[in-house]
Amino acid sequence: MRAVLSGLAGGFVLGYATMRTYDALVDIRSAARSERPDARAYGRERRRLMLAGLVRSLATAGWMAFALVPPTGGDAAGAKHRVRRLLAVTAATIFSSLLELPSDYIEDHVLERRYALSKQTARAWLIDRVKALCVATIVTLVVVEIMVSIMRRWPRAWPWLVTAATVPMLILGNLIAPVFILPWFNTYEPIRGELEERLRRLARRYGVGDAQILRVDMSRQTEKANACVMGLFGTHRIVVGDTLLHHFTADEIEFVVAHELGHYVHCDVWRSVAVGTSMTAFILLLARALSSRSPRTSATSLDGLARLFFYANVVGVALGPLGASLSRSREWAADRFAVTATDAPGWGVDAFRRLRDRNLSEDQQPRWMEILFASHPSLRARIAELEALRK
């Protein structure tokens, strides 16, 4: 039965990749047709592709775990096995990325260009993908080696110890990414003039007056608008997309930045570390229980790691609605903070309406989508809340 399911998964993955490769080649030969701006049609297409991607991700992980990775039996200790493991993990990361490349091209490049949400060239998109693959490969290798070392030394307690190691890794990621990784993809420049003074006054009221206030060239990848506050321990950055700067009023920009400051003031980065750590513990404990049903497979062998990764993916997907619900609650809190910080809910109404039009977002997603997957509440509900406060 397992062999049949693995074969079906592999057939689905290869068939889908073949179909998307054909679509990508057709697009390269003749650019995708343009569609009229239709948030509902765009949303339907995004949901369809998201669900297909979710199934494809699980199918790929299952196919690799139960069919592609050969059984290796006992514990793989020693330098020889470490080299073999590093090569296997690198090959698996590149292989899965290549399988996903045609689908990513259609979903992240062709669709966005079709709805006039991106002007990025195919070459620039591919360069960004190669950069992302390099980062993902390095991070995956480091994580796997740390996990294997802990698993081998503490075979019974390793899920708890790996979970504990997650905390400094998440903190390190929040420190490293804004300073060293993100500038590899985009250019960050200081914002000068009246807007910088206005945003700094806002930031100063909430303890981040010394933060860098930066403009990022989001338009390299997308026409959508956004802003964020990132960093920890003195590396704080208030980052405003050039698409936001060019198409929104100063009042609207201040409200959006105030919303992002709300995440900082409410310690949402630390909340996410705590939630991520708790979920990691649950995922690892359950994944270990599921993968240990194959007693002849060592947890640190290549096939043991592949099966552990598959089960971890399944459990992670099952926990997705809980994570989405927690994220939506933090967005509501950040909206309320922005109203308090600016005392101008009308700015928020105008900002959200402009974001809706600029980002081609739906007023209201289907209920199942919001409950299971949405990290943000519906725009209709958020605007209604702000409209009520404005009266």
Per residue of the chain (391 residues), what is the pLDDT tens digit?
A: 666 777 788 888 888 889 999 888 888 887 666 767 789 999 999 999 999 999 999 999 888 888 877 766 555 556 677 788 888 889 989 999 999 999 999 999 999 999 989 989 999 999 999 999 999 999 999 999 999 999 989 988 999 999 999 888 888 888 888 888 899 999 999 999 999 999 999 999 988 888 889 999 999 999 999 998 887 777 788 899 999 999 999 999 999 999 999 998 898 888 988 998 999 999 999 999 988 776 556 777 888 888 999 999 999 999 999 999 999 999 999 999 999 999 999 999 999 999 999 999 999 999 999 999 999 999 999 999 999 887 6
On whether residue 61 sits in a domain, the answer given is yes
For the stretch 182-190, contacts whose Cβ atoms lie closer than 8 Å and that sit 24 or more positions apart, written own/partner, are 184/131, 184/135, 185/128, 185/131, 185/132, 185/221, 186/216, 186/217, 186/218, 186/220, 186/221, 187/216, 187/217, 188/214, 188/215, 188/216, 188/237, 188/239, 189/214, 189/215, 190/214, 190/215
160-172 burial, b at 16+ Cβ within 10 Å, e below that, comes to ebbbebbeebbee
- How many structural domains does the chain have? 1
Q: Do the domain assignments include residue 387?
A: no
How far is the C-alpha of 226 from the C-alpha of 318, rounded, in Å? 29
Helices H / strands E in the chain, number of each: 14, 4
How big, in percent rounded to 5, are the helix, strand and coil portions of the chain? 75, 5, 25
What's the residue count for the chain?
391
Q: Tell how strand 237-241 and strand 212-216 pair up.
A: parallel
| Alpha carbon distance 171, 311 (integer Å) | 26
Residue 175 CA to residue 233 CA, distance in Å, equals 8
In which domain, by residue range, is 109 found? 2-182
- Residue among 23, 224, 44 nearest 105 (CA): 23
The answer to whether position 358 is within a domain reads: no
Supply the pLDDT for residue 296.
Answer: 59
Contact 324, 373 (CB under 8 A): yes
The reported pLDDT for the residue numbered 229 is 86
Give the pLDDT of residue 3: 66
Name the one residue in this structure whose structure tokens are 């062999």. Answer: 3
120 burial via Cβ count (<10 Å: 0-12, 13-18, 19+): buried
pTM here?
0.88
Cβ partners under 8 Å of residue 370, min gap 6: 328, 377, 378
Give a yes or no: residue 95 inside a domain: yes
> Is residue 202, in this structure, part of any structural domain at all?
no
- DSSP SS3 for 144: helix
Cross-strand bridge partners of residue 214:
190, 239
- How many CB atoms sit inside 10 A of residue 28's CB? 11
Degrees (nearest 5) of the Cα angle 358, 102, 38? Answer: 25
Residue 46 lies in a domain: yes
Q: Does any domain span residue 212? A: no
The reply to whether 52 falls in a domain is yes
Residue 338 and residue 262: Cα distance in Å, rounded? 7
